[in-house]
Structure 1
Amino acid sequence: MLMSNRVKDIIQIVLSSRGFVTMKDIANKMNVSERTVYREIPEVTEVLRQYQITLETVSKKGIRAVGLPEPIQKLQTELGEHKKLQVVDPKERMYLVLLELLHQDDFMKTEALAIDMGTSLPTIRNDLKKIEKILPEYNIKLISKKGDGICLSGEQVARDHLMVNIIMKNTDVDVIVHWLAGNVRQFHPFMQKLDEYGYMDLFQTCEKILRDISHKLIQKNYQILDQNYAELVMLVSLLIRRHKIGNRKYSTDFTVEQVDKNQKKVVAALIRMLEKKYSISLDEAEKEYLLWVMDISVGKRNNENVFVKNFVLKPKIEEFVELVEGRMGITLSQDTKLMDGLLTHIDKALVRTRSGMSISNPIIRDIEKDYSQLFSIIKDTVRKVFPDDYFPDDEIGYLVLYFAVSLDNITKKTFRVLVVCSSGMGSSKMLASRLEREIPEIYVRKIVSLVGLGEEDLNDYDLILSTIPLYLKDREYLKVSPLLNDNELEIVKEKIRRHKHQTLRKIEEQERKAAELESSNSIVSLKQLKQLTTWAVDLLAEFHVYEINNLKDENHLFSNLEHTIWEAGIFIGEQEIKNYVIRHGNECRFTIPTTEISYFECYLKKIKKPLLFVYHLKEKRMVDPQEGDAVSNIIFFFYPTEMEEVQQMFLRYITELIIEDRDVMKLIEKGDEEEIRQCFGHRFRHYIGESI
């Protein structure tokens, strides 16, 4: 069974509590918001259900686990062992779902997938939406067929490439290399999956063959990184698997235009070893594929001047760097290491991406965070220079690092320091000497006395160090001893580290100003703002809480609903509402966890503007047979299908308010129309203000 760390923590808190525990207490123990805890409750409930444990909710008391001692003890034990219960984050779970689909030859019910993954149906549906966005770059489609379920459609080689990328994205390379060599050092969910799918023997046998091949390449002064080696082993292994099952179709052209003669010899040796080991005969297409795999996995020889030899790509790299220079306002084209590095990387990146492969970048999130503006510049520039090629974010991240290193080099010896010292030239020289000796980036531009300080333009310096107190703000100077002790030295070094990003901050400011100038037409922005304001005002004006007495059944509900929306100008009949519910099922209505509120949404082309209202039931009713929960309130949200992005974001915000904002939920359960309207009005005003 799979679960996130957050779900695991909530379950452990609930199980260890004597009696009820409130959401607030759980949130405080986990150092998260109550809203975050509420979002995880459906997943918590699903995990507990697998162990015949129910989650009891009592108003003003909280929640508690109810079940027999044996299953509770079993769950607690397995949570501690981390064996049967695999703790994964949501992104890993999504990739595990995708991995499962890649190994299904026929349609699979989403319900069965939820059971296999040990998670809820809504969670699986949410994962499938994310998966659908990933697949096009691999030429794979997610097919959904009513009554049959879902399956993936695409060439086997494309499916294999996607599988390798999944493994590389979600597993540390040292774990993969050890697993391939047969040295399983620790439990890992993705390695366990490979074992379950029957890959272990094949992969480990191929690894032994390729280990000898890699040694030959290294002896010839070729570069082969651990990550490339792991990909090489898996891709070659999967080629053997495709051959054995008779799947040898390659619609993608894997021809390598310029084949290195030494690599060609190595591949010929590899082919002989594979054919002998598996008693097979590889065809020409498969041999071309092996050449391609070797080419993308093995780096150029260390003494090879790749920039001079690659005449085709060189102009593109020069154009790329020139455009980045223009955006940054800094000259980088004289950095030969940058130019050579970009050429080597982009050369292989183009081969990978054009064949449906992509590289994994384990620090991509850190790169996006630390170099956000540089990342944006390079991403935009790559699209301009290579308009017919797709570069995923992982590839962009590596390109950013090349530029970051170059920027780091040009910032050396540019940290300008002013030293203020009144105790004599000897001590000030000693301080300056130690600074320049300990920190190579330091450039002591001037040494002045306290009197001379008044003549200096302090904006000319990046840091002011003084051996005496100065009448300046603390952030504008550092007071140090003439001998500069170790603690003071570390503080100065930290200042240097921050300064290294100063160039990037200037770039960000330049980009921000440029973006303001190039932003969308002000008239268009004002029109969008007017539309949002109009919708917000109309939603509040037409919002009502309807008291419903003696609600008999679902048909009675739909009959009331038809009357309500007709009065609001939405002309949808009772039967049309029923048909909509049949088509969309639980996606259009569900009970909000730990509440007595049912949420119902409907979006159709004939709806021209959004409508929001509540049915407050005098007696609790089970309005959704599939949910099986009695509710006292139903909130309805009708909205158009055709909207601009700014409108979609606003409606998405409203939905989040309804199902995540605890204050809004309490007011809905209370059923006070004016209080709910005032609360929505306050939230809408804040949202529109933030948008401005």
Structure 2
Amino acid sequence: MLRKITARQRQMIQLLLDNREEITAAEIAGNIGVSVRTVHREMEDTEHILQDFGLTLSRKSGKGIQMNGPETGLGQLRHFLRAEKPAEYSGEERKIFELCSLIETEEPLKLFALAHTLKVTVATVSNDLDELEPWVRKFGLQLVRRRGYGVEITGAEADKRRALCRLAAEHLDQSDLVGRGPQPEGEGSPVFRKLLAAVGQSRLLNVENLLWDMEWNWTAELPESVYMELLLGLSVAVRRWEIGMVIHDSEEKAYPRISDHQNISGAEQFVKQLKNEMNLSLPTSETLYIAEWFDRAQESSGHDDFVHGDIGLMGLVYRLTEQVVKRTGFPFQSDRILREGLLEHVEQALRRIREGTRIRNPLLGPIRKDYQYLFRMIRDAVEELKLDLAVPDEEIAFLVMHFGASTERLSQLRRNVRAILVCASGLSSSRLLGERLRKEMPQLEILGNVSWYEAARMPEEDYDLIISTIDLPMEKDQYIRISPLLTAEETDKLLRYIQNKAPAEDGSASAGEEDQPVTGESVIGRLRSYKGLLDEIDGLVERFRYYSLSNEGMDLENTIGAMLDKLRGSGVTDDPKTLQNRLLEREKMASQVIPDTRLALFHTRSSHVLMSSLTLYRLQSPLILDGNTEVTTILLMLAPKVLSKESLEVLSEISAMLLDTDLMRLLEERPEQEIRTYLSAELLRFFENKR
């Protein structure tokens, strides 16, 4: 029996019928007013519909999507589209609409009113609500339904905002939020418009401009994912203020650190400005709410530490890389960019899987096809890790993007056109696109992967062109938009754009490195960076010390105290007691034990550390950590709170080196000078690769 189709599926099918040649997902998305991710999400159901008519879809790498099948089937499909009245909303769209409607009002809604709006039966809406109830509960909210009363979502205002942020994260792309203005009434999906309105999309760029007007250094240093999460959270708050939904002062008890917001003064400035612009009166609790967002953004930005996640995470990435190396024979373990990217991605991926977040990867289909061999190898490698959770294909595809980018970092030729990349799908897709660009266009020098908000603010003299996979809030002639997979047509389009936009061969920006003006990453800047790296390496190696620690009868707290006593008079710290407490807190938060060893890494940054320090302790009496692991050796890494980029890179490199079996053996068994020599050689190699 033929199935009902949604209005969006009807539009997609009609486009495929009308275009007998291939059409890209990006072109489909542009024609029907949705994101590329939505097109890929709808494609599977669309294929099932076409199968009813004996039709199929073929995807050709570099060209696009094409409908295939006999003329009789195509004719039947055309007749069906003329006769069939489409269902207004898919099941997923209905649930988004229902959630937005319920969270946007404080009054109960009647089931029949929702059913009438969605053009379905009351029983269908009731079934939708049954499926939504577990999702609602995850945010501490309650779905209340009573006969004659209606349905409503009750709970704290802050929890409703969390739910809206998650809803946006699951169903919207960055390009949906920043790449377009509000859609005119009647254009695009009404559900799409409703969700954008609920999360304050029309106010998002205004909020962002105000955030930058504050001129705080820390906002410019936030990673893209953290920045986007912060911006979305602030926009949701502003939208809620506009419709009268505020956090009342009686809800202050919901904040665990009410008197300890490090950004309270900044939040007061920010909220004051918004109150003036919007002519609103807001309670003190809203200032505390904004301060909590600012605090959380700074804490999650990664600048408080120099070790990626915990040691267990580093071990997991190391084992995954080794498994892929074993299967492919490719030396991935030597790629520092790959390692850093995996550490950042895997930490977030594990959190998403454990939280049950719906994981979407719009590039899953093309990646599984274009990188079939690598996809299978990485799936096998992940299975070999024997994790206590199921890793979906969407996450495997993200990993393929990281490893695929690494394989394409083989031949790096000299560049003469400076480009920056902006990608919506995250770090992995931007790196993959960057490597494909380098391979296809040797004349390109990819300066880096930046977020859309950074691209809009970069001085024009620092680059020659911007390449983006999303619409940007800037003039169309300031950048070129392509898809993350770089089709053949897009390669030609980009070449023509470079010829028209990039400077001539004899221009100062592209005629050769020696003729470039001293702007951006200038010669002087590079020299200072090299000096900073060498100074940090030299200082750390010179200050490295080894001690045999007599800790019989001591617990962990006293052992750490004895370790810090050894640093007295060295000038490393002015407050050992504070450092002792910080190290103990960190040990409670995450494992410090290096997997499959009796070695632990204790590390922290603090204003009470005056210079970076690396110290090794071999314990006379083993400590029991992680429940039942005997630790006999501890490496202590300390660094100042304020740390240069070069110092952070060196310390991060050392922490990653701890996964090397040779270094672990040296730390556990060999004398101080032999360890120092090894560290010197490895850090010199790191420095030479940075040049």
Asked if Structure 1 and Structure 2 have the same fold, meaning a TM-score greater than 0.5 normalized by the shorter chain, the answer is no
Structure showing greater radius of gyration is: 1
TM-score range, shorter chain: 0.3 to 0.5
Query: Which is bigger in relative contact order (C-alpha 8 A, separation at least 6)?
Result: 2
- Using the size of structure 1 for normalisation, the TM-score is 0.38
